[in-house]
Amino acid sequence: MSDLTAFLSDRIFDGETWHEGAALIASGGSVEGIVGATGIPAGARTVRLEGGFVAPGFVDLQVNGGGGVMLNDRQDLETIRTITAAHMPFGTTALLATLITERPEVTRRAVEAGAAAVKEQVPGFLGLHLEGPHLSLARKGAHDPALIRAMDDADEALLLAAHRVVPHLLVTVAPESVTGERIARLAADGIVVSLGHSDTDYRSAAAAAKAGASVVTHIFNAMSQIGNREPGLAGAALDIDSLHAGLIADGIHVDPATIAIALRAKKGPGRIFLVTDAMATIGTDMRSFTLNGRVIRRANGSLRLEDGTLAGADLDMISAVRFVHETIGLPLEEALRMASTYPAKAMGVSHRHGRLAKESHANFVHLSDGLAVQGVWIEGRQVFGSAA
């Protein structure tokens, strides 16, 4: 029996353009194309999605937790399943499970869990983001300073080995803790190297980008800022065309005016994309949790250590989309691209994610005109919504 399915919608956004009164054709977990309502193939099952519109599923490259769990707390297959499932109702169809600065043995367990998730083809799991421990103490944020250190040969070997079993791997490093030669070797192997938690100057950031770093982690947060005589890492992220940059768009981590300025400034091939930096709280009513033995409290839309330091974000992806569309004033199409097309390009997976075109994964969301998530599909299978 064929699984050829036509999803009919008043409007479909494919990541670039709108299609009115069209049908998304999917088969075998992939997109076959988008056709007019009269062009549906014979024998296709039809699913009518009433109201609103269809868009590519969201891609989140920084997800520390969700559903009450953190990858830092337990590194196993079930934790990854729980995290991915917690983010599906908010439109996320592919994510990088993120490990915050830890000891080498914990990193190894996270890699083993990631490899198991790849083998089991866990829905929504794209790969791993190892955020640290090779960062700057001066810009540690909520990372445990006792665990931050420079990268050595064993650390580099661990990352290269990890990439053999987790094909989509992103690592956040600071130029102060990782040499350009190491960055070059990691990038040449296909690991996506991101600069973050760094007090570096512009010149060193530019050298790291030339060596192969291609992303900046949560722009403006935990990094050297733009000054009149020194642009810092934030300035490098905006000025260097090859650098993509993640953004936590909750109105707490970055002021809306700063976001607007950054979006006007960043016009090169590398673009600003949305990340949630989500923690265990997503999809729950929990009020506190721990990270490396330290209590993090949830209040007023933010997550903070006892000293007030921001510790991740209490943010889901559809809320970030609403924020940049409604508060910042971005066109809807651009807000959607920031949650799908641009992170997929930053991760090098835009042939399969972040768009709805022939041979891409049939990962999509059905949103209301008010940007409420009505349904979510991963590889053509509904994972959230009334019929899921």
Cα first-last separation, the chain: 21
Non-local CB neighbours of 201 within 8 Å, separated by 6+ positions:
224, 230, 232
Tell me the C-alpha distance between 89 and 377, whole Å.
10
Coil, strand or helix at 194: strand
Non-local CB neighbours of 351 within 8 Å, separated by 6+ positions:
359, 360
- Using the structure block, give the residue that is written with the tokens 């992103």: 170
Active site residue 152: no
280 by Cβ neighbours in 10 Å (0-12 / 13-18 / 19+) ranks as buried
Tell me the C-alpha distance between 376 and 122, whole Å.
15
Mind giving me the DSSP string for 42-102? TT-EEEEE-SSEEEEPEEEEEE-EETTEETTT--SHHHHHHHHHHHGGGTEEEEEEEEES-
146 by Cβ neighbours in 10 Å (0-12 / 13-18 / 19+) ranks as exposed
- Using the structure block, give the residue that is written with the tokens 């699913």: 47
* Annotated catalytic residue, options 60, 201, 277, 314: 277
Coil, strand or helix at 292: coil
Token output for 67: 């559903």
Mind giving me the DSSP string for 335-363? HHHHHTHHHHHHHT-TTTSSS-STTSB--
Strand 288-291 with 294-299, pairing: antiparallel
Tell me how many degrees the CA angle 146-189-343 measures, rounded to the nearest 5: 75
| Active centre residues (catalytic) | 277
